[in-house]
Structure 1
Amino acid sequence: MKVLLTGATGLLGVHVAGELLRQGYAVKAVYRSFPRQMNKLPWFSDIEWVKAAITERSDLETALTDCQAVIHAAARTDPYPTDLAAYYDVNVGSTEHLLEIVRRREGVRLVYVSTASVFRPGSLASPATEESPYAFDLMASGYIASKYEAQLRILEAVQQGVDAVVVNPTFMLGPYDFKPSSGAVIRYVMQNRAVFYPGGGGKSFVDVRDAARATVNALRLGRVGECYLLASENLSYDHFFPLLAHVSGQKKHLFPMPVPLLRMAGDLGSFGERIFRRGLPLNRINATLLTQENYYSGKKAQNELEMPTSPVRRAMEDAMQWFGQ
């Protein structure tokens, strides 16, 4: 079976490509441009690369011609600007294009890579599940709002007969983060003696290789119309950053930033956005996301998609080793 993969140059995408090959699939990957040193990826030459724009339906239709399944992992993931319009064409429009194409083809399974953030996060004692309500209070984030809209399109299409499954990764860590994306936090700790971090809140983390395994397994194990949170360890920032500093093997000075101060800075950032009419890295919604508890349960994916649960520490170690090359 040949699988069309979008987002193949991103952190999850490169590992999905490798996992597809490991499981015996042929891989056709859509790309816009290659990050620097992308050709050092061990399985780079085993992939059929196709230059195409995911915002162009004709490009996607041509790419999908000889494929029997699609994993749609491409997305704009910047935390700013907050305007939904900035994300719409890439995150929602490309999904609509793929659905239009798949509707006309029989026997094509679509695995859509969404985000855990579309679900309202839970606490350490009671992490969120796939049955949790949507995070409507967080839709001020253009990224989250766009992924929510795209996920709705997928689930609505299922009701019309499309064979589709949704996976919702949490915060992924691991090697081959070429851009980098989530690996930016690892590089930050590696490169600085003084490490400032949120003094409250936390995240759900997952080894990107485990998330890739679950995403590929969804092609054969995922139930039509179901969503699967890809989550492993829930860690408060007071645990995560000291662990990251310890794994770095260097002496670090850790400074937790008071939550009220960060949220005040977020309010100032939102005010600045209105004044300067451009997105800023820290605004009200990003400060909220940065300082709240963002905890999720991955039990459904572990049970139904056979997702491994490797220690997040291993993902940190491997990412640091890769960044240090």
Structure 2
Amino acid sequence: MKILLTGATGLLGCHIAGALLRQGYAVKAMYRSLPQAISQLPWYYQVEWVPGQITSLPDLEKAAYDCQGIVHAAARTEPYPSNVEAYFDANVLATRQILEVTRRLSMQRLVYVSTAAIYQPGTYENPATEESPFAFDLMPSGYIASKYQAQQEVLEAVAKGVPAVIVNPNFLLGPYDFKPSSGALISYVLKNRRVFFPGSGGKNFIDVRDAADATVQALQKGRIGESYLLAATNVPYEAFFKTVASLLPEKRSLIPIPGGLMRSAGRLGTFAERLLGHPLRLNYINTVLVTQDNYYSGQRARQELGLMSTPFQDSVRDTIHWFQGKSFVNTFQT
């Protein structure tokens, strides 16, 4: 079975390519631009790379003509700007085109990669599940709003017969983070002896290799129309940064910033955005996101997709080793 994969140059997408190959699929990866660093992937030469725009229906049809399934992992993911319009083409329009190609070519299965952030996060004691409400209070986030809209359109297409399954990954850790994306937190600690971090809140972290394997399992085991949170370990920010620092030979000074202070700075950033007319990394919605509890449960994915949970410290160590150019646990086998 051949799968068309979008977003294969991203952290999760490149691991999905490897997981597909491990599980016996042929992989055709669509890309807009191909970073030179991507050739470092152990499975790079086993992937059929095809250029194209994910917002172009002709490009998608041309790429997918000989495929039997699609994994749509491409998205614009940076948490700024705040307006949803900036994300519409990459996150909503592209998903509409993917759905249309799935219909036209009678694909056997579509796996849409959404995000856990569309669900209102839970507490450490009561993490959020797939039954949690949409994060209405986070609507000022253009990224979250656009991913929610795209996911809703996938569900509407399912009601009309499209065989789609949704996965909602949490914060990813692991090697081959070329941009970097999620690994920017660890890269920040590597580059600085004095480390400032949010004094409140936390995240759910998952090894990108586990998330990729579960995404591929969704092609066969996922229930059509179902959503699966890919969640592993809930970790307060203080514990996260202490873990990263403990795995480094040089001592780091860890300095917490009170959540209220960060949110006040975020309000100033949002005000400056309006004055300057262009987005800033520091804005109110981003400071809300990084100072609240963002905790989730992956129970459904564990039960139905066989989601594995690599120990959190091992994921952090492998990420550090990759950034440092050291060897790490390579789960890809031919």
Q: Same fold (TM over 0.5)?
A: yes
The residue that corresponds to 1:16 in the other structure is 16
Task: Decide whether the 8 Å contact of 2:70 with 2:107 is kept in 1.
Answer: no
Over residues 208-255 of structure 1, what are the superposed CA-to-partner deviations in whole Å (9 max), with x where a residue is unaligned?
000000000000000000000000000011111101111223200000
CA–CA distance in 2 between the matches of 1:108 and 1:45? Answer: 26
CA displacement at 1:107 relative to structure 2: 4.3
Identical amino acids, percent of aligned pairs: 58
Task: Decide whether the 8 Å contact of 1:35 with 1:179 is kept in 2.
Answer: no
1:1-325 correspondence runs (5 A)? 1-325=1-325
Where in structure 2 are there 5+ consecutive unaligned residues? 326-334
CA–CA distance in 2 between the matches of 1:40 and 1:104? Answer: 35
CA–CA distance in 2 between the matches of 1:314 and 1:51? Answer: 35
CA–CA distance in 2 between the matches of 1:270 and 1:138? Answer: 14
CA–CA distance in 1 between the matches of 2:54 and 2:104? Answer: 18
The letter of the residue matching 1:309 is S
CA–CA distance in 2 between the matches of 1:161 and 1:78? Answer: 32
Over aligned residue pairs, what C-alpha RMSD do you find?
A: 0.8
Over residues 50-106 of structure 1, what are the superposed CA-to-partner deviations in whole Å (9 max), with x where a residue is unaligned?
010111111011111000000000000011001111100010001000111212233
Secondary structure of 1:204's partner? strand
The letter of the residue matching 1:19 is A
The letter of the residue matching 1:270 is T
CA–CA distance in 2 between the matches of 1:82 and 1:49? Answer: 33
Secondary structure of 1:19's partner? helix
Where in structure 1 are there 5+ consecutive unaligned residues? none
The letter of the residue matching 1:156 is E
CA–CA distance in 2 between the matches of 1:60 and 1:290? Answer: 36
4+ aligned runs moved over 6 Å, structure 1: none
CA–CA distance in 2 between the matches of 1:188 and 1:134? Answer: 31
How many equivalent residue pairs? 325
CA displacement at 1:108 relative to structure 2: 2.4
CA–CA distance in 2 between the matches of 1:37 and 1:288? Answer: 33
Task: Decide whether the 8 Å contact of 1:85 with 1:142 is kept in 2.
Answer: yes
